[in-house]
A and B are shown apart, each in its own frame.
Chain A
Amino acid sequence: MKSAVILFPGLNRDRDMLAALEKITGHKPHAIWHGDAELPKVDLVVVPGGFSYGDYLRAGAIAARSPALAEVKKHADAGGLTLGVCNGFQILTEAGLLPGALMRNRDLKFLCKTIHLKAENTTSAFTNQYAEQPVFPCPIAHHDGNYTIDPDGLKQLQDNDQIAFRYCDADGNVTQAANPNGSIDDIAGILNAKGNVLGMMPHPENLIEKAHGGNEGRFIVESLVEAVA
């Protein structure tokens, strides 16, 4: 599977994502500087985490309006697989590729810890490898991960099986207490209506090998490999 990672100044989990993609797929991903307008032909485009443009104005707001994002949008509109993680998720919502918005965490603090996730949709291109083991521990590291959406939009996400991941406890119970940031309906990650765009706050790229204490983050990319095969 061929992949590309979009780079904006201020991103900082770009290196983590590039390394993870290479370790999982065996292919070096393209690293695309935002100023280089041309996007190579790839199966997957990733917008990684960090603080693009310092999160000034609003997290993801400036990157979402860059020419590079217009290219990502073209790729996604044509059905291309697109993944946004953390700041990447914020950028994709700001750019309108995914519905809703990310607000300050409930406690108004940056929070980095290992939480538990439950894959709610285990049939999508991104999540089909989670069917047997939908509950897994995963790291988060964010200040603005409190996902919100209007009631109609939420109903659409629920009815259309677009909620990819929810926060849960170690036993898989989805509860407000297990939700680290106060997101609506305990949402940690969502798909677009067509199922070819995934945005999520947790960091699967920091969960791919023994040194990370687990490898469940690989399943996202492995799901995609399965989907494009």
Chain B
Amino acid sequence: MIPNQDVEITKDLIAEHGINDEEYAKILELLGREPSYTELGIFSAMWNEHCSYKSSKLWLKTLPTTGERVIHGPGENAGVVDIGDGQAVVFKMESHNHPSYIEPYQGAATGVGGILRDVFTMGARPIAAMNALRFGAPSHEKTRHLVSGVVEGVGGYGNSFGVPTVGGEVEFDPRYNGNILVNAFAAGLADADKIFLCAAKGVGLPIVYLGAKTGRDGVGGATMASAEFGDDIEEKRPTVQVGDPFTEKCLLEACLELMQTGAVIAIQDMGAAGLTCSAVEMGAQGNLGVELYLDDVPTREENMSAYEMMLSESQERMLMVLDPDKEDVAKAIFEKWELDFAIVGKTTDDLRFRVIHGGTEVANMPIKELGDEAPEYDRPRSEYPAPPALGDIPSGIDANQALLTLVGNENGASRRWVWEQYDTLIQGNSVQIPGGDAGVVRVEGADGKKALAFSVDVTPRYCEANPREGGKQAVAECWRNLSAVGALPLASTDNLNFGNPEKPEIMEQFAQSILGIGDACRALDFPIVSGNVSLYNETNGIGILPTPAIGGVGLMADWSKMMTLDFKNEGDVILLIGKNGSHLGQSALLRDVVGRIEGDAPEVDLDEEAKNGAFVRGLIDDELLTASHDLSDGGLAVALAEMSIKGNLGATVEATSDVETLFGEDQARYCITANSANIDSIKARAKDLGVTISELGTVGGDTLKIGDAISLKIDEIRAAHESWFPDFMAQEAAE
């Protein structure tokens, strides 16, 4: 008997699958009959928010996705961008938020595994990883446990797989108390003419299953990721997958070996909604039908139903269409790496998705409507409320104390505790590791000089105050971080984390953020080539801060010219690129020192951003600088403090001592240093290009002095900066 075949399709069952009345009516119309239980599961898996992008597609279409260097934009497993010499960088970012809250280690680990698979599925060897993590307030009872588990999970998977983690973000805010964010980025290197895609080609060709066996883990995971959390969260633990980086490493090597042989016609990894999503995408994108024989699927549990097999999210699995003439070559490679493989289906010419189990057809559905013609909504939006006006800033703020707070609290302190748990050095190409503006990795197979730079950024409090400017700012800061190390920003990926899109205010927030991202990507020639949307990040009705994380990739012709942020030499001159600080709305100072969250987000002048970035890159390329750092949270004072700590050198800066100058978060700004002999030519270049530049002071001594407001020993600033994270995490052991 086939399990579950006689399940009655009730109203409750339909609702449990996240399918609304309108969608169910569409299902009845498409099938011309009531769906089977398995079919209901398949519809639910394909039409949920996570897989179908039904609420977001309309807005995603407004983003710029093409460019001179873009080989493949969104729609594939990852974006592909030309980096010259016949090489391409393949990259994407993806969320694993809901699973990581329920089971932090496995949730984070499989998030990393999933994004790595997206990259090597396209024929690229992963060369860099990053992650953007957001947790609740440090005082929240779950935070420490979640930080510990997520960081260990990210490291556990990435370290074992063997990819260097070169960048990332960690942020704490009470708005993530019930819904943390785990966004994982991966980039790989491929030959530009050997990119593998998921669209099946050719009728009657075998569909091959490769990798780990299928179990019951993760059944319904994508549907879970498309709903808000309630108090029943503990019951959702079985929907979290379990990762096995060892199998994934074997899968990587086997896939890359197999791709060399020319046997692979199409390939798709099994991520969200597992076998269902991968098989449907292969067929739908290739305009072919697919027939699957579930009795041939390798399973690790007995008596699995068709429903479970189709919705399992067991990790480390691939589906491919192979050239039948090269089946023996393929088999030898799978056996060498001791991976399960089986022919589990074939392509057909009838555009139907058929699933056969125990000799019975358990699903027969139109493949296009499941896949690329899934429902799409223009969800209602309402006017977005303006943030509370910025009140008077209290006089008498102790700037020394404020600086120590901003570099030493949960959001300003060093993330060393986190990134020292990640292998940042494996592959031997990491020329800049976390702790700077961007991670930089040397590119193998070229002239030995070429390198890629990576950064991931977003300032959620800006997005909440002003979604359009916040969206712009996320892109601008990422672009600026790449420029600050001397890399030409090439392209980006977005990971859009928002609350419930069925609330008109959230939908407006989402739409405005995307419009802002689009504005900035167009102005900065920084197309979005891949991405992921994570909605319904709410618990018991409270949404997260809007968090559209932007991951960017930049190209550097010669890594030996790369800039770092640490002060290098006594006597170097410090310069500010961009205007003097003035904007305190939504600033870190206002939130963390004054204790108020008010005002508008800083305005992003994209022309100025483009001009200043190009100016800094030019100086770096001509080897005129000794250090460079972008200005962001905490403004000028925090940037100078970071440059001092890392370089173990102080500075004397003659700035006016008002809090706006010290801590304002105006955009499009960099702090640079140069040998005094180069200052005149740097200033002359700035004048020619119309770039605002001002001389701030000189590097030297063991104290950071800014005007008459700040005078702190480097050791004292460092102690504040380095101690918060280890101290906070050590309390776990003490409890």
Contacts and interface: CB of A to CB of B under 8 A. Distances in A.
A119 to B, nearest CB: 21
Contact of B160 (A54, A111, A211): A54
Contacts of B159: 51, 110, 112, 141, 143
A208 B244 CA distance: 32
B442 to A, nearest CB: 6
Nearest to B559: A211
A218 interface: no
Given A12-B162, A54-B244, A211-B429, A112 B249 contact: no
A16 B245 CA distance: 19
Interface in B189-247: 244-247
A141 B426 contact: yes
Interface residues of B, number: 31
A13 B159 CA distance: 11
Given A12-B162, A51-B246, A205-B428, A111 B421 contact: yes
Interface string A51-77: 101111000000000000000000000
Given A141-B159, A211-B559, A111 B420 contact: yes
Given A9-B249, A9-B338, A141-B425, A110 B156 contact: yes
A110 B338 CA distance: 27
B652 to A, nearest CB: 27
B336 interface: yes
Contacts of B428: 16, 19-20, 205-206, 208, 211-212
B426 A12 contact: yes
Nearest to B428: A16
Nearest to B151: A109
A139 B420 CA distance: 11
A199 interface: no
B425 A206 contact: yes
Contacts of A19: 428
A116 interface: no
B609 interface: no
B59 interface: no
B337 A9 contact: yes
A12 B252 CA distance: 11
Interface string A208-226: 1011100000000000000
A99 interface: no
Centre residue among B162, B250, B442 by max chain A CB count within 10 A? B162
Interface string A9-27: 1101101100110000000
A23 to B, nearest CB: 10
Contacts of B253: 9
B246 A54 contact: yes
A199 B560 CA distance: 33
A113 B425 CA distance: 8
A112 B156 contact: no
Given A12-B160, A12-B162, A110 B423 contact: yes
B425 A211 contact: no
Contact of B162 (A13, A53, A55, A112): A13
Contacts of B161: 12
Contacts of B250: 9-10
11 contacts: A9-B246, A10-B246, A10-B250, A12-B161, A12-B162, A16-B426, A16-B428, A112-B422, A143-B159, A206-B426, A206-B428
Q: Which 8 A-B pairs have the closest CB atoms?
A: A12-B162, A54-B246, A51-B160, A16-B428, A141-B423, A112-B423, A10-B246, A139-B425
Interface of A: 9-10, 12-13, 15-16, 19-20, 33, 35, 50-51, 53-56, 109-113, 139, 141, 143, 203, 205-206, 208, 210-212
Given A12-B161, A112-B420, A206-B428, 14 more contacts: A9-B246, A12-B426, A13-B162, A13-B426, A19-B428, A33-B336, A51-B246, A110-B422, A112-B159, A112-B425, A139-B425, A206-B426, A211-B429, A211-B442
Interface of B: 152, 155-156, 159-162, 244-247, 249-250, 253, 336-338, 420-429, 431, 442, 559-560
